[in-house]
Amino acid sequence: MGVIQTKIKSVKKQISLKDKELIRERRQNIIKTLSDHETSESSSLISITSTTSSSSTSKSSIKFPSTNDDIDFLHQHHFIVKSIWSSNFSSSNINDILNNGGAKILDVLCGAGTFLLELSNEYQNSQFVGIDKNKLFPSEIKPNNLHFINENLLNGLPFEDDEFDFVHLNIIEPLYSLKQWDFIVKELLRVAKPGGSIEIQGFDFLEENIGPKFMKYIGYYMLLFETNELDMRPRDHLKSLFSNYLDSANHDDKSILLGKNGGHLGILLEQHATMFFKDTINEMLINLMDISINEFDQGWREILKEFDEFDTIIDTYRIWGIKKN
């Protein structure tokens, strides 16, 4: 278990049994309230799932980003990632495949589809497919060479074996256990062509640089999922899976200080984190923590100061490789 997981467990232990019962009740009230106001899948704030696949099961949980209100966050996420890496992907052979045309590209957990919208416009002689359980991607206004599928990844990818030249997955939120990641990586491998590339992109916080206020918010954020199997930092496990199953497995990471200490990118990432905590999950956390919006906002202002005081670092990483022939 990593240090960050241990710290989160410590935060949870500080919550009394009575408080835990209240938190559980508040969480159920959040689910009920939001479910009562759910009008369609595309506008649902939560997705309560009880999914069973051949290799994984998941408990009922709150899923996000999953509403139309989150689309701006997802668009911003894409362009921040591209700015950090100065590219949309690190797999070395994909540019040649796309420039030659006739390629077939899959983006798993495609969100609002920003990654694919950009690539499909640039490479009009290739085919692009996105899949996500939340229907936040455009259904009509999109290039003719781009198609989206509304499906849950944990049900298995609805494609034939050996179908795609490049399979991409961007981890927006750590919603899966290590056992589920085993299943997911095997599915990515299954649908990739022999000699095709697979790439996963994600973010980590460096645990030694997290201040106590931010750790508290992260602890409550984890309580939203009510599962001990969820892994906030799957990077090392994914690296191991890629090394075992793929040829030419590679990985790279970039560390950026959050806030003004990190320059332009640090400020962008601080704004992005603020957008997530204050716009995407703030209502759920406020109800869970049983505090007022003013108290929540004051807490976040203190966290912004912590970013500079503790030199809070966010890591972005990419792991990629080639499917064996």
For the domain that residue 188 is a member of, what is the CATH number?
3.40.50.150
Mean pLDDT by 10 residues, the chain (325 residues): 49 51 54 43 32 35 65 93 96 93 97 97 97 93 96 96 98 85 97 97 83 90 67 88 95 95 95 92 89 96 96 95 94
Distance from the Cα of residue 216 to its chain's centroid: 20
Domain that holds residue 140: 3-323
Per-residue confidence (pLDDT) for residue 34, from 0 to 100: 41
Give me the torsion for CA of 165, 85, 147, 193, rounded to 10°: 10
CA distance 288 to 7: 19
Per-residue confidence (pLDDT) for residue 284, from 0 to 100: 86
- Tokens 């005081």, residue located: 309
Report yes or no: 317 and 170 within 8 Å, Cβ to Cβ: no
Per-residue confidence (pLDDT) for residue 223, from 0 to 100: 77
Per-residue confidence (pLDDT) for residue 14, from 0 to 100: 53
* Phi, psi angle pair for 235, to nearest 5°: -55, -50
Per-residue confidence (pLDDT) for residue 100, from 0 to 100: 95
Question: For the whole model, what pTM was predicted?
Answer: 0.81
Interhelix angle for 212-223 vs 282-289, to 10°?
90
Interhelix angle for 114-122 vs 71-85, to 10°?
60
Domain count, the chain: 1
CA distance 33 to 286: 14
